[in-house]
Structure 1
Amino acid sequence: MKAVPWRVVLPVLVTIIIALIPTPEDLAPHAWYYFAIFVGVIVGLILEPLPAAAIGLIGVVLIGVLGLAFSPEQRADPGFDLPGETIRWMLSGFSNTTVWLIFAAFMFAMGYEKTGLGRRVALHLVQRLGKRTLGLGYAITLSDLILAPFTPSNTARSGGTIFPIIRNIPGLYGSEPGPTARKIGAYIMWTALAATCVTSSMFLTALAPNLLAIELVNKTVNLQITWTQWFVGFLPVGVILLAALPYLVYKLYPPEIKGSSEVPEWARQEIAQMGRLSRQEIVMALLALVALVLWILGRDFIDATTVALGVICLMLILNVVKWSDVLANGPAWNVLVWFATLVTLAGGLNRVGFIVWFSDRAAGFLEGLPVTLVMISLVALFFFIHYFFASITAQTTAVLPVMLAVGAAVPGMPVTMLALLLCYSLGIMGIITPYATGPSPIYYGSGFIDRRAFWLLGLVFGVIFLAVLLVVGLPYLSILY
């Protein structure tokens, strides 16, 4: 009889142990059991005894079957349609716009690959910057920085625009998902993800939840934050992080290929062999340009996901890709299911009241501490609580007002500084997990960065990002305010 792998046993064991612990005071039992299953799912995602999407699906179905997404009072209400509400909750993640924008990014990448446009653009980048791998890292970072102020969706910016292009670069160096990923592909992918997390914090308009955050700040503590105020306040932190980032990744997660003087010449020859742009490449380029323009300029009248799905339809109509290609794109469908279930699970934590309870209890431990230490603690708590969320928007809605209210109640608290530090953490917290922000599942799903490396790098870079924000940002903001 074959032994059950420990990777299967441990998530189940963690769930059972937490569930057997007496329910904490002021928390409903169903919320505690929900949390136990949620932690088990997170452990499962870290260990991956099954594919991530399967683990997420199992977690959602288990909670649905046990009825833990709703309170006993709700379930006891004669007018409450428990079966109907349960299945609607279980499938709610599939109506999330970011989930479909992530899926669309995979379709865009496929379009670049099928037409050859991605390879052509990648070859041009390699021709100009391929002598050194570090140069490619800075080129990718600069590309995101240029787009960031005008693209309020980092999924559209990084996942839909940058990823489809850079996905073609590793293959030029013989680096593909699997044993050869560390040649150069893993470095490029992690640099791109880390860069978009920093730029998402640097500009008010670089991340949709930033705009939501300033509305909540205004309503909670009656403080208005302007675009310029946001940018100036984060400027030294952003400059330091962006300037150091490609080199930092180069040292902490080094590529095997440091550079090659022959590769740029080879790239030039390959471009010559490809000849002039084909009709399909031109069509794909125009569709990508339409998407980018609408993402930048059309946010007031058309949703970013609507743009992406519309472009996919045009790709099918214009025969850039075939429907069979869409159906055969396993990684895209896998990420769709995975992220949809995680959005559902993370949203449920707030639904059952766990997040508010946790925030209140954590705030209670801060009473009597020095004001600066309270501020640092609140920002750090807000940052790392993101391990429980698959949506920055959800965390902003559920937790930001709580943290602001707790901090504002502390005598002598510089509320403007606290509000800005909490808001600035929204972008950079996207680095910590494979589901922390929209582009994360895209880069994780590319297969270049393995599970263990992704979680470890997320923790390391998360600590670095937060440390720079507090060590540099806090003294700088204290001078401004």
Structure 2
Amino acid sequence: MEKTVKVTKEKGPFELKMQFFGLPLALLIFASIYSMPTPPGLSYAGKMALGVFLSALTLWVSESIPNYAVSLLVIVALPLTGAWTEDQALGVLGYEVIWLTFAAFIIASGMEKSGLARRMALFLISKFGKSVNSVLMLLIAINFLIAFVVPSTTARAAMMFPIVLLVVEAFEVNINDPKNNFGKMLALHGIQANNLSTAAIVTATSSQILAISSIKDLTGREVSWMQWFVASAPVTIFTLVAMFFIGKVLFRLPKSEKTTLDLTKIKDEYAKLGKITLNEKKALGIFLFTLALWAMDSLQVKLFGFQLSLVMVAILSAALFFLPYVGILKWKEAKISWNLLIFACGAYAGGVALDETGLAAWGLNIIFKRMGVESMSFIVLFAVLMFIASFSHLLFTSKTVRTIILIPTIIGIANATGYDPVSLALPAAFCIADTITLPPHSKVNLIYYGTGYFTVLEQMLYGVLVLLAKWALMVLAAATWFKFVGIV
């Protein structure tokens, strides 16, 4: 059963107004900042960096102009206004985050072509999906496992969505029956398990890659794949457990509802795959090789005499997918989202320019004095920042935009208060994929919202409760697990 999931979202009246007024508003913002006197304590370059960034942010949020076009304008505007030099603006294309994102697209293309993740999902359900509870738990586990293999939330949703529909069909779920909550739970679990599992693996989405690149550039501290996993995975697993039980309470299944699964159709789909193919074996081999190098981290030096960084391992993995006899891809088969890469270049340039011109530190110092941040204890400040990091997706639907705003800002707050910046910025990065409250907040949400099994209010209620549970777990981890692993 192969289905192509294409999501299109019609803009509402408010979004259409935003799109119409976004460009004039962006120009007005830029003109206002350009014409105002440079504030005391801030450089002219910092003022212009603010003008370029806020104008671009307005255009990104309003979607008046395609995001990649805005990013190209940012690259031109930074040197033109004196905010950054031309070499600095053009040099962003060579940053680690861009190469890592590029490699992630190639790896995702190879895994998708191989069909390995689909085989794994169908196998697990056909073997262990005996009841409602077991199927729900299996779908959570599968979403967690394939986050290792497929570094894209949308690609994972597109792969899992047809399988969820198979399960719905096997359970004979009636969409018109308001008492039938199993369809709701399957669809909402699809959203939440996909997005929440992402937090455990740094390479599961490009925005997390962007986050650790920002941390490295702004603090000089490098976060390895294994360090991220060890710190974040326990919180993620407990959040998924909380998600399961919260869903069971919110959407109780009536006693009369079918609770056993006819696995015939699932087994038929699995049987159609036949024996594991050569391409699947090759993809599995490249994946295990990549995962091993990421997990080894500094042990590579002892074993090989040299160490490949996270980005170099990803590039090597991408190259293996193209090699004759070893790989399975041709260049034209690689689904590289060039518009996202260009968007990331402009967004990253604008964010880094804010820091390097001194604007971020200048603005944050003013804000902190009024907020009294310097008098907050670490745990209180941590709780406030994690809440903001998690629920900021209600304002900024783009994970990339939120990353370039949140991470430098939180590092600035840490520096101003004297706390270790990584202790605050890295846990905040674990919240980047918390986009589970409303359909427009991610493509994953829209894919499952298209089933019609749940309402916007039901998704919001479930999402808010789960994110509050995760927030409580994060605060608890700050006092326990994060200290044990050396983050705090």
Q: CA deviation at 1:338?
A: 2.0
CA distance in 1, matches of 2:213, 2:292: 21
d(CA) in 2 for partners of 1:63, 1:259:
61
- 1:117-132 to 2 correspondences below 5 Å: 117-128=116-127, 132=132
1:320 aligns with 2:322: no
For 1:468, the aligned partner's letter is A
Of 136, 158, 171 in structure 1, the residue corresponding to residue 162 of structure 2 is 171
Q: Does the aligned pair in 1 maintain the 2:351–2:405 contact within 8 Å?
A: no
Aligned to 1:37: 52
How many residue pairs align between the two structures?
Answer: 406
Does the residue aligned with 1:160 lie in a helix, a strand or coil? coil
1:275-332 deviations in Å (ceiling 9; x for gaps): 2112122111111111111111145501222222222222222351112212xx25x3
The alignment partner of 1:112 has SS state of helix
CA distance in 2, matches of 1:99, 1:250: 41
Aligned residue number for residue 403 of structure 1: 413
Instruction: Give the structure 2 partner of residue 108 of structure 1.
Output: 107
| SS, match of residue 89 in structure 1 | helix
Deviation per CA, 1:39-92, whole angstroms, max 9, x where unpaired?
23223333323433233223333334x33423xxxxxxxxxxxxxx41x33333
Distance of 1:340 and 1:420 partners within structure 2: 23
Q: 1:39 to 1:431 in 2, by over 3 A?
A: farther
C-alpha spacing 1:297/1:94, structure 2 compared with 1 (3 Å): same
Residue aligning to 2:66: 51
Is the contact between residue 11 and residue 41 of structure 1 (CA under 8 Å) also seen in structure 2? no
For residue 108 of structure 1, what is the amino acid of its counterpart?
I
2:329 is matched by which residue type in structure 1? Answer: V
Match of 1:74 in 2: none
Aligned to 1:346: 351
Q: Among 356, 366, 383, which residue is 2:361 paired with?
A: 356
Taking the aligned partners of 1:470 and 1:285, their CA distance within structure 2 comes to 33
Distance 1:51 1:245, change over 3 A: farther
SS of 1:267's equivalent in the other structure is helix
Distance 1:422 1:17, change over 3 A: same
Letter in 2 for 1:15: A
Distance in 2 (alpha carbons) for counterparts of 1:92 and 1:461: 43
Q: Is the 8 A contact 1:69 1:351 kept in 2?
A: no
Cα distance in 1, alignment partners of residues 27 and 424 from structure 2: 34
Please say if residues 111 and 117 of structure 2, whose CA atoms lie closer than 8 Å, have aligned partners that are also in contact: yes
SS of equivalent to 1:334:
helix
Aligned letter for 2:357?
A: V
Return the alpha-carbon distance in structure 1 between the equivalents of residues 92 and 194 of structure 2. Answer: 26
* Matches for 1:249-328 after TM superposition, within 5 Å: 264-298=263-297, 300=300, 301-316=307-322, 317-318=324-325, 320-326=328-334
Checking the alignment, whether the CA contact within 8 Å between 1:109 and 1:167 is kept in structure 2 is no
Does structure 2 conserve the Cα–Cα contact (< 8 Å) formed by 1:126 and 1:169? no
The yes-or-no answer on 1:468 pairing with 2:472 is yes
- TM-score between both structures, scaled by the size of structure 1: 0.64
Amino acid at match of 2:61: I
Residue 11 (str. 1) matches residue 11 (str. 2): no
Contact 1:137 1:246 (8 Å CA) reproduced: no
Q: Distance in 2 between matches of 1:259 and 1:39?
A: 54
Deviations 1:344-401 (A, max 9, x none): 22111112211111221122124498644x8635763587589799599988996666
Partners of 1:89 and 1:248 in 2: CA distance: 48
> Cα–Cα, structure 1 residues 352 and 12, in superposed 2: closer, same or farther, change >3 Å?
farther
- The aligned counterpart of 1:221 is none
1:150-189 map, 5 Å: 157=148, 160=151, 167-173=158-164, 188=190
Same amino acid, percent of matched pairs: 18
Q: Quick check: 158-167 or 10-19, which moved more?
A: 158-167
Contact 2:157/2:190 (8 A) holds in 1: yes
- Which residue of 1 is the match for residue 239 of structure 2? 241
Write the letter of the residue equivalent to 1:363: F
Distance in 2, Cα, partners of 1:42 & 1:260: 49
- Offset of residue 183 of structure 1: 10
Give how far 1:474 is off.
7.1
Cα shift at 1:339: 1.8
Paired residues of 1:109 and 1:163 also in contact (CA < 8 A):
no
The match for 1:333 is 338
Aligned to 1:422: 424
Alpha-carbon distance between aligned partners in 1 of 2:246 and 2:364, rounded to the nearest angstrom? 33
Amino acid at match of 2:413: M
Within 1, Cα distance between the matches of 2:78 and 2:64? 19
* 2:151 aligned counterpart, secondary structure: helix
Residues 344 and 280 (structure 1), Cα distance of their counterparts in 2 relative to 1, 3 Å cut: same
Q: Note closer, same or farther for the CA distance 1:174–1:375 as it changes in structure 2 (3 Å cut).
A: closer
8 Å contact kept, 2:407–2:425: no
Q: Paired residue for 1:224?
A: none
Are 2:215 and 2:425, in contact at CA under 8 Å, matched by a contact in 1?
no
How many Å separate the matches in 2 of 1:419 and 1:314?
36
1:96 corresponds in structure 2 to 95
Work out the CA distance in 2 between the residues paired with 1:405 and 1:284.
Answer: 43
Give the 5 Å matches for 1:77-92.
85-86=85-86, 88-92=87-91
Do the aligned residues in 2 keep the contact of 1:121 with 1:165 (CA within 8 Å)? no
**Equivalent AA in structure 2 for residue 97 of structure 1:** E
